[in-house]
Structure 1
Amino acid sequence: PPTGQPAAWVTEDVKPIPKNIYGVTKTAAEDLCLLYHRTYGLNSIILRTSRFFPEEDDDKLKRDKYSDDNAKANEFLFRRVELEDVVSAHMAAAEEAQALGFGKYIISATTPFKTGDLETLNRNAPAVVQKLFPEYADVYRANGWTMFDRIDRVYVNEAARSDLGWQPKYDFDYVLSCLKSGEYPRSRIARLVGSKGYHERTFTDGPYPV
């Protein structure tokens, strides 16, 4: 949504509108899973994961304004998930697939926001975050970080936690706790996996050409 309108509350009921070939292939794959479930009874649980990649953001304006760790920490509020939690979500989905048959689930860190925050989020995100986490500004200031000016969408993981019994560990509160102790909230799995990259070659500006 544009500035001035409430941020989007993204649940599984929101129909995705692909913006590029990446989005088209994702929705096509989901439709194929549903087709095979209906036709052949193949159990299929679709996990729509939020950002968990360690590579820098593909948005140059964001890269120029925020350090990589700063941007990723901000995203834990609304659109990022730690790799360890992605793994546990897949394990939970595998355990529940037989009982559920088919389902689509958003896999993202648990957001602290409520629907009543949406209008202000897309105008003044720092004010909302300050209200929920009074200590965040001091923690960020000590690291030379800043919050995004506005947040235009919030990914909601309530269905995955309810239906799959998924219990994500990493969220923005965890991020702040780590920062207070001088650490960055990167799970052991994420450190072991590291960055796989998008291309064999390295580009001078951004993780891939856009």
Structure 2
Amino acid sequence: MRIVLTGSSGRVGRAIFSALAGKHDVVGIDRSPFSTTHLVADFANETLLRSAFEGADAVIHVAALHAPHVGSIPDEEFRRVNVGGTRLVAEAAIAAGVKRLVFTSTTALYGYAVSPASCTWIDEDTPAQPKSIYYRTKLEAERVLEEMAGPELAVRVLRMSRSFPEPGEVMAAYRLHRGVDVRDVADAHLSALTNGDAQFRRYIVSAATPFTKADCKYLATDAASIITLRAPTLAAEFTRRGWSLPASIDRIYHSARAENELEWHPRFGFDEVLAQMDRSSLEVLPPGSDISRKSE
């Protein structure tokens, strides 16, 4: 397949490029130069897109303004890039005869759906309640694509959970309920290029959780006990390393639909986080690292 990948210089885009390379002909677009990028430009340009999409079989649209940009970039620019740009991508894809568009979204747009002092079980049927302009525009972009999907263009939306580097003890615990390895995200995009005939489908992409929906009743107030029960190996590692288990867990992202319909299975759980940290991988930060909370 010939696949056009927007946002190819970013962290997620690079991972997707790596998953595609060697199997498909990939053309990367990004305004920042990188070895995975062939066209260095703002993707939100109709002329550029129509030329790039000529002869393409599929488009993976990753490029966007993100949470760290909130407050430093005007809301109007978020709408231009995240909403208007996504519409341009879909229009250009249809004009070029592209049959499949895979859109990278985020589980963070559930926002206010997570209730304080409780644990919320979140799947694709949970109503999104975004908090910031970033999350609102990602949801608006999803709606644009849902309206435009049809016989000419099948759309797959992947709502990915946290995959950026964080302190090892935080990242390992999150991998139980609200985190995912960026390589698993890339694999899900690869699977979404060819699955099914439906015109529009939406999927949560998160690491496999050991928790059940019934566990939510206890995770909000006694997460350590439930983690010890459901993930004893992780609990033992936390003890060995002198770390404290989380006292509470406020959400669980459930990706069963993606596993079933995409035939996608996340490969990298908390054990991989610990292994990466032990070999000083840049994918995991040292325990106790102070990070920007704008990535929330």
TM-score (norm 2): 0.54
Q: Which amino acid aligns with 2:123?
A: T
| Corresponding residue to 2:157 among 32, 40, 46 | 46
The yes-or-no answer on 1:91 pairing with 2:203 is no
Partner of residue 74, structure 1: 173
| Corresponding residue to 2:144 among 19, 22, 32 | 32
TM superposition shift of 1:41: 3.5
1:153-172 alignment to 2 at 5 Å? 153-172=251-270
- Tell me the C-alpha RMSD between the 2 structures: 2.4
Q: Which moved more, 1:129-138 or 1:69-78?
A: 129-138
| Corresponding residue to 1:124 among 204, 218, 222 | 222
| Corresponding residue to 2:292 among 180, 204, 207 | 207
Equivalents in 1 of 2:216, 2:244: separation in Å? 20
Q: 1:208–1:136: structure 2 CA closer, same or farther, 3 Å change rule?
A: closer
TM superposition shift of 1:133: 2.6
Q: 1:121–1:208: structure 2 CA closer, same or farther, 3 Å change rule?
A: closer
Equivalents in 2 of 1:161, 1:100: separation in Å? 16
Q: Which amino acid aligns with 2:120?
A: A
| Corresponding residue to 1:105 among 194, 199, 203 | 203
TM superposition shift of 1:139: 1.4
How many residues align? The count is 174
Q: Which amino acid aligns with 1:50?
A: S
- CA deviations 1:132-175 (Å, max 9, x no partner) are 13343331122222221100110000000011110110123x34
Structure number with bigger Rg: 2
Partner of residue 60, structure 1: none
TM superposition shift of 1:185: 6.8
Larger RCO (alpha carbons 8 Å, 6+ apart):
1
| Corresponding residue to 1:145 among 243, 251, 260 | 243
**Where does structure 1 lack aligned partners over 5 or more consecutive residues?**
57-67, 196-204
Partner of residue 276, structure 2: 184
TM-score (norm 1): 0.75
Equivalents in 1 of 2:124, 2:277: separation in Å? 27
Equivalents in 1 of 2:248, 2:215: separation in Å? 12
Alignment partner of 1:106: what SS?
strand
Q: 1:29–1:89: structure 2 CA closer, same or farther, 3 Å change rule?
A: same
Q: Which amino acid aligns with 1:75?
A: Y
The answer to which structure has the higher strand fraction is 2
Partner of residue 198, structure 1: none
C-alpha contact (below 8 Å) 2:168/2:277 kept by paired residues: no
Query: Post-superposition, which runs of at least 4 consecutive aligned residues in structure 1 deviate over 4 A?
Result: none
Equivalents in 2 of 1:128, 1:208: separation in Å? 27
TM superposition shift of 1:208: 6.9
TM superposition shift of 1:209: 6.1
C-alpha contact (below 8 Å) 2:175/2:207 kept by paired residues: yes
Q: 1:99–1:105: structure 2 CA closer, same or farther, 3 Å change rule?
A: same
TM superposition shift of 1:29: 0.7
C-alpha contact (below 8 Å) 2:220/2:250 kept by paired residues: yes
TM superposition shift of 1:128: 0.3
